[in-house]
Amino acid sequence: MNVVVVESPAKAKTINKYLGSGYKVLASFGHVRDLPAKDGSVLPDQDFEMSWEVDSASAKRMKDIADAVKGSDGLFLATDPDREGEAISWHVLDLLKKKRVIGDKPVKRVVFNAITKKAVLDAMANPRDIDIALVDAYLARRALDYLVGFNLSPVLWRKLPGARSAGRVQSVALRLVCDRESEIERFVPEEYWNISALLKTPRGDQFEAKLVSADGKRLPPRGVKNGEDAGRLKALLEGAAYTVESVEAKPVKRNPGPPFTTSTLQQAASSNLGFSASRTMQVAQKLYEGVDIGGETVGLITYMRTDGVQMAPEAIDAARRAIGDQFGERYLPEKARFYSTKAKNAQEAHEAIRPTDFSRSPDKVRRFLDSDQLRLYELVWKRGIASQMASAEMERTTVEIAAAHGSDRAGLRAVGSVIRFDGFLAAYMDHREEGEGGEDDEDGRLPEINAREKLDKDKVNASQHFTEPPPRYSEASLIKKMEELGIGRPSTYAATLKTLSDREYIVVEKRKLIPHSKGRLVTAFLENFFTKYVEYDFTADLEEKLDRISAGELNWKQVLRDFWQDFFAQIEDTKELRVTNVLDALNEALAPLVFPKREDGSDPRICQVCGTGNLSLKLGKYGAFVGCSNYPECNYTRQLSSDGAEAEAATLNEPKALGSDPMTGEELTLRSGRFGPYIQRGDGKESKRASLPRGWKPEDIDHEKALALINLPRDVGQHPETAKMISAGIGRYGPFLLHDGTYANLESVEDVFSIGLNRAVTVLAEKQSKGGGRARTGTAALKELGNHPDGGAITVREGRYGPYVNWGKVNATLPKGKDPQSVTVEEALALLTERAGKTPAAKGKAAKAAPKTKAAASDEETAKPKKKAPAKAKAPVKPKAATKTKKTDT
């Protein structure tokens, strides 16, 4: 028997069917070890020696793999066909060697780009050794990300309170978003006019022609700059006689685009389906790993992390056969099409993303797929088959028209296109597709027009326009830009965007990426004090070096030495950096954000309250805000915000009276503080305050809303079983219900004010059914991790001395610096087990909570590993908590 190691249990199940009883296929569940979130994981002074850690869940899986290998005839490492997959195979083999179970057994590396029986059997018949150059590239990337994140983040924490962290790729991606926002803020609109004439042929057919020249000169785009010129030109056309000077019709061919790469698939799915990059990769992963098609599990698309645009020869042949069968020989070009990538620093020459079987059209698999899977598969199938189809043939007609009014002359042009043969467009029912649109699509179809004939005028239009600022990035356009610049790699785009969103550096509104104020602060800080490390060319050059390592052209440790020497010196220089230097630099860099223009034209840097103080950025425990230099005499503060901050501040400089509380008689006022707008009842230090919930705008607050907010928590009613009161409120972690010490989350803030008793009982019951137990009063769960193997919920909570893991009566404090949201069930079980050994009262039960349990493994099968974020280490290099990921680096 031979042992085969793959990454996911879904792949293991499918491949086991293909290989039969002579093989045992086991899953590693992604990476089996990672750099621990502590000081010393990468040691520059010891030539970048790296220390690896195996978590409890991976340790159990490695034991299962080791036990199987011990009694096997050989080992096949069949992880994914990219740099990360190569690294996972290397980690697995290294651990097995340390367990002394390999001996003289043959060990082979196999890769397959698609999970089909033929692809798997072909790969098994053609094994190779582990590609050490790819592993070296992985080690270099992992070390770089660790060194940047774990050394740069502590600088941010010291010099820029409220900042979360910085990463090698994420910081540059964030800079792109922030730079675009700065462009928008600096943009000055320019006026221009479009002038056109609605004309009629002698046969009575109408068409539109646009003004392109006047006074003997060609008009550049947006060449008519003001209403006076527009009025003069319109008057000329109103009284002009029109003659067709020339009609030119010429054939135009449009060629199909190449099959999808990771980035183009993410862009197309965003534009056509509204998918986020993360959602696209989740659905693509399922299509790749296999779907049950009439009793047979088969992968429907090839590997989805690639920047290659070429298809395998056998796939091209299959596509051409499908084209002949489904569209006809007319749609089949004489020769197959071959593509080459235009992406900067394209790496690892994998196939493009394509269907594993072109005869399996979307209609044939429709009933086996859910809606998202079908739509993404349809996108891949159409793009793949269109890439080998004949060109579309079009006829583009250009009509030049002379307009004469006395001695004045003007020229107009009309353009139209006609599809003579749809070619590859036949693959798209609406003849439109992401990446295939073009100028021709905008042209209308022209009627019959002949040279030298006279035309009648129906109407002349002159419309005023203003230039618009560049659009904010969407996920799709940002990925496209990152790819053009050579920043990041196919496996990193989705994770990078998710990291920026999770850390609240950006917000996504109507699919547009808007930098949060804290994101702009981080970018401005890095641009001023770590300029080199957020430069686009520097980051792309580093990516190129990693690619050269994977090609065996560079020594990975020499690349690290060169990087570390300059980077460490830059880190050391920041020790002498004073906060006043930081604030002065940020005030200048972010002037449009910090000091937005005022409607009255007054100096935006002068305090409007005292009239003498200068406004400036200030740094507090929870981040940056704007304050007056005359503090404490003037206590004016304003939350830093890019959405009308100055207008909001002006409105709330003085408390706004909203009426009185009928129960206490005290006045309710709307005010603005360091952390945003809030409601206050009464005056003095003891007066009650309530911050406006997220999404509530100060201008929308009236007496009714203020009264409801200030009187939270609200009594919903007595629970019918316990006769104890159920209350609803808004806490640090959002809206909640509280009953007898047990919390349950509510979906929205509005639910707090509207939920009735019946619904509240149902929500609490649902919480209990999911394993929710009694919680200590006042400690709402930060995160629910699932059920303990011995019953009862495991949760992460905030306590007096910091976050901790709770199971029943057992509490285990999280390690210092550990992000509560990053805790996994395996880590929680390990902490609880360790704590149980120190707590006699809990020892009996908690001793059973060892992480090596079937339930723990089951949890891993239903949830992909999460990414490790930076963790804390000793000063000055103080890493932030990290979580594990399968295949990403940011």
Alpha-carbon gap, residue 587 to 162, rounded angstroms: 17
Of 177, 186, 175, the C-alpha closest to 531 is 175
CA angle 728, 766, 736 (to 5 degrees): 20
Catalytic residue status for 303: yes
Beta strand 725-731 with 714-718 is antiparallel
* Alpha helices in 130-217, H assignment, sequence order: 132-159, 170-186
CA angle 691, 633, 640 (to 5 degrees): 40
Alpha-carbon gap, residue 733 to 729, rounded angstroms: 11
Catalytically annotated residue among 23, 303, 377, 636 = 303
β-strand partners of 474: 512
Query: From its phi and psi, is residue 303 left (phi > 0), alpha (psi between -120 and 50) or beta?
Result: beta
3-state secondary structure of 240: coil
Query: From its phi and psi, is residue 771 left (phi > 0), alpha (psi between -120 and 50) or beta?
Result: left
Indicate if the alpha-carbon torsion angle 878, 883, 886, 887 is positive or negative.
negative
Residue 660's identity, in one-letter code, is S
Residue 513 contacts by C-beta under 8 Å, 6 or more apart in sequence? 177, 472, 473, 474, 475, 478, 497, 506, 507
Sheet with 802-807: strands ordered across: 781-787, 793-799, 802-807, 810-813
3-state secondary structure of 418: strand
The conformation of residue 511, written as its DSSP 8-state character, comes to: T
Helix 83-98 vs helix 132-159: crossing angle, to nearest 10: 100
Alpha-carbon gap, residue 697 to 690, rounded angstroms: 14
Q: Are 405 and 267 in contact (CB under 8 A)?
A: no
Query: How far is CA 643 from each of CA 160, 468, 647, rounded to the nearest angstrom?
Result: 22, 19, 9
Of 38, 40, 133, the C-alpha closest to 87 is 133
Q: Are 519 and 473 in contact (CB under 8 A)?
A: no
CA angle 448, 204, 395 (to 5 degrees): 20
Q: Are 352 and 380 in contact (CB under 8 A)?
A: no
| Phi then psi dihedrals of residue 563, to 5 deg | -65, -50
Query: How far is CA 233 from each of CA 208, 245, 411, 822, rounded to the nearest angstrom?
Result: 16, 20, 11, 65
Alpha-carbon gap, residue 489 to 347, rounded angstroms: 9
Q: Which long-range contacts (CB under 8 A, 24 or more apart) does 613-622 make?
A: 616/583, 616/587, 617/583, 617/586, 617/587, 617/590, 618/583, 619/160, 619/161, 619/162, 619/579, 619/582, 619/583, 620/161, 620/162, 620/674, 621/161, 621/162, 622/161, 622/162, 622/675
E strand spans, 73-169: 74-77, 107-109
Q: Are 388 and 337 in contact (CB under 8 A)?
A: yes
Sole residue written with tokens 């005028």: 457
Q: Are 307 and 343 in contact (CB under 8 A)?
A: yes
Active site residues: 303
